[in-house]
Amino acid sequence: HRPWPGLIHAYRHRLPVHDDWRVVTLREGATPLLPARALSELTGCEVHLKVEGLNPTGSFKDRGMTMAVTEALATGKKGVLCASTGNTSASAAAYASIAGLECAVLVPKGKIAMGKLAQAVMYGARIIEVDGNFDDCLELARKTTAEYSSIALVNSVNPVRIEGQKTAAFEIVDALGRAPDVHALPVGNAGNITAYWRGYSEYHADGIIAARPRMLGVQAAGAAPLVLGAPVKDPETIATAIRIGSPASWNQAVAAKEESGGQFRAATDEELLDAYRLVARTEGVFVEPASAASVAGLLAATGDGWIERGSLVVCTVTGNGLKDPQTAMADGVRSVTVGIDPVAVAVAMGL
């Protein structure tokens, strides 16, 4: 039993990495595919959670970032730059720190979760707050890197990011021995749905799976351009990770939906928060609000019959709940105070 080497070494033959490149890795990937007992019982399906919050910086972004920073280092870049709603910035900062590259992150001012900002600070990134939303940040990142060739753009518009992220689909198939019937995931800038679809499609083309899943892409209702079929000028949602009005990988996301016979769906903030609480209280998995979109989508789609009973469903939960303590504590902490008194503790437990 050898220790997990990180996803580039594990899936090297399927990734555009040259043999003589130094691989920049934090041993990302190999995340749990967790059977979800309560969700399975509730929906009549066989539900698994792909727990991406257990990557080194707490989100799926590490899969793409090991590739993007490996390439940036190998091609002689001096620094990396990204626009981010928080997770990409945390990941870029961590991988840049081990590569010895400068890192700057462009974030929408006041709109990223506290834990993500703390990560970027600790990993030593330069934090640049932009008076605008994610879409404005991405435009600025694209313009800057177009003009300065020593700076690598490490958003998912960088094709190697998608290559790294497709490995999550490989891991799911490797674990299940087949593809699920339905794969549900949150959609913001639409890189991840693009990546999963590519991963499933590669395995399908090579005959490793007989069929590909229907892709269920779930957006927040206040930031649901793919559901509406048009960009949203002022996206708004409590799920700040997916507060995006103009997804960069729009066409690829639509292709994934169409080719898979899939669907885009919107979940209201209330539905997101309900799913967020449910998955913590019944499955023991604390995710961030955006990540609960996959579970909210599962509940809605089994509710109206788009997902049939008995289906094998994988929900990707993209980021760790610890990143956003403020949303978790927004309703206050319900507690009781006791003395050093076992009776009072037992009473407090209701036992």
Residues found near ligand F0G in the complex (CB under 6 A): 59, 61, 84-88, 156, 186-192, 241-242, 288, 290-291, 318-319
Q: Angle at which helices 61-74 and 87-99 pack, to 10 degrees?
A: 40
Select from 163, 188, 178, 173 the least CA-distant residue to 264. 188
**Cβ distance to ligand F0G smaller for residue 208 or 328:** 328
**Cβ distance to ligand F0G smaller for residue 19 or 260:** 260
Q: How far is the CB of 86 from ligand F0G (least distance, A)?
A: 5
Q: How far is the CB of 242 from ligand F0G (least distance, A)?
A: 5
Q: How far is the CB of 45 from ligand F0G (least distance, A)?
A: 22
120 vs 91: CA distance, rounded Å: 8
Q: Exposed/middle/buried for 5, CB within 10 Å: 0-12, 13-18, 19+?
A: middle
**Cβ distance to ligand F0G smaller for residue 67 or 290:** 290
Q: How far is the CB of 189 from ligand F0G (least distance, A)?
A: 3
**Cβ distance to ligand F0G smaller for residue 162 or 179:** 162
Residue 20 CB neighbour total at 10 angstroms: 6
Q: How far is the CB of 153 from ligand F0G (least distance, A)?
A: 13
Do the bridges between strand 33-35 and strand 46-51 make them parallel or antiparallel, or are there none, so unpaired? antiparallel
**Cβ distance to ligand F0G smaller for residue 111 or 178:** 111
Q: How far is the CB of 31 from ligand F0G (least distance, A)?
A: 13
Under a CB-based contact definition with an 8 Å cutoff, are residues 209 and 233 in contact? no
Q: Which residues contact 157 (CB under 8 A, 6 or more apart)?
A: 138, 142, 191, 248, 249
Select from 120, 122, 133 the least CA-distant residue to 92. 120
Q: How far is the CB of 192 from ligand F0G (least distance, A)?
A: 3
Select from 151, 324, 153 the least CA-distant residue to 248. 153
**Cβ distance to ligand F0G smaller for residue 63 or 212:** 63
Q: How far is the CB of 285 from ligand F0G (least distance, A)?
A: 13
Select from 106, 170, 116 the least CA-distant residue to 142. 106
Select from 36, 67, 69, 68 the least CA-distant residue to 50. 36
Q: Angle at which helices 167-176 and 191-205 pack, to 10 degrees?
A: 50
**Cβ distance to ligand F0G smaller for residue 43 or 59:** 59
Under a CB-based contact definition with an 8 Å cutoff, are residues 67 and 94 in contact? no
The encoded tokens of residue 55 equal: 């990557």
Residue 310 CB neighbour total at 10 angstroms: 10
The encoded tokens of residue 137 equal: 């940040």
**Cβ distance to ligand F0G smaller for residue 46 or 129:** 129
